[in-house]
Amino acid sequence: MNEIQREESLLEERSNGVSNNTSEIDVIERISICNVKGLELLVDQLPEDQKTSIKLTGLEIKRLISEIDAHLYYGPAASLPMICQGPLCPIGHSCMLQGIRKAPIGAKCPIELTMINKWKDDYLSALGASWDDKIERQAIMDLVETEVLRSRANGIIAKEGFIMENTIGINPDTGDPITSKQKHIAMEVNDQVARRQERLLKSLAATREIKEKLGKGSKDQSRKEADLIERVRKVKEREKGVVHDAEIVQSSEKDD
């Protein structure tokens, strides 16, 4: 068992109430953040006094680098997954991990993380998009975000139904609440997100059309420039030929 695995095991024991002894965790070796490869950009942003004072364990370094890599890879969508709240999760009733009491409370929801990666790959494949293209990458992750938000809204609707009853006042004569039934707010959110999803797809299609036109225009321009260069070359060759012929003629006249 390496140092990181040992630390993970000790933290799991403490979180599960198996052990309250923190002495073993306290003695785990810590490294100054300024000496960690891969965190140079982060260190540059820290106040000077913290660049040498912050010390991390191997597990903390692993988690920090993983979080930074996620933000660099996914962009703003890296912050999208919900933080697991266990039984307090608004859609915990549909969570398999919560059902078997294995919800990773305090960590990013592994169900949503799985869905995000799957939907990302599905959109890339279905739209033939390139992850290396920053514009298309952001568009894909925006679409994935709409899928996650709709999933959450549907989870709430599954539990509470699509009609909600709100108290809008009190009957002055009886003191009883006056209620009104209306479409659940989650339904409104679902509809709004669906419309946003449609706009994103249209925007992506328009962006591609523009890029194709620009690409075609660029190719046409390159072709024109190449043609012009070729014409200039031919003109120069003709000029050289004329000069050469003239020199030959002049030479012949002198001989006569």
Confidence at residue 113, expressed as pLDDT on a 0 to 100 scale:
93
Answer whether 146's CB lies under 8 Å from 200's CB: yes
Nearest in space to 34 (alpha carbons), one of 61, 2, 71, 8: 61
d(CA 80, CA 74): 10
d(CA 201, CA 10): 47
Answer whether 66's CB lies under 8 Å from 102's CB: no
Q: Pull the structure tokens for residue 170.
A: 């009190």
Confidence at residue 248, expressed as pLDDT on a 0 to 100 scale:
42
Q: In this predicted model, what pLDDT tens digit does every residue of 175-224 receive, in sequence order?
A: 888 777 888 889 999 999 999 999 998 888 887 777 776 665 445 555 65
- For 183, the enclosing helix (H) or strand (E) is strand 177-183
Longest Cα–Cα distance of the chain, Å, equals 134
Q: Pull the structure tokens for residue 233.
A: 């070359």
Distance set, CA 150 to CA 34, 40, 82, 112, 198 (Å): 42, 38, 14, 12, 13
d(CA 109, CA 104): 7
Answer whether 175's CB lies under 8 Å from 145's CB: no
Answer whether 165's CB lies under 8 Å from 171's CB: no
Low-confidence stretches of the chain (pLDDT < 70) are 1-28, 213-256
| Single-letter amino acid code for the residue at 207 | T
pTM of the model: 0.64
Burial of 173 (0-12, 13-18, 19+ CB in 10 A): exposed
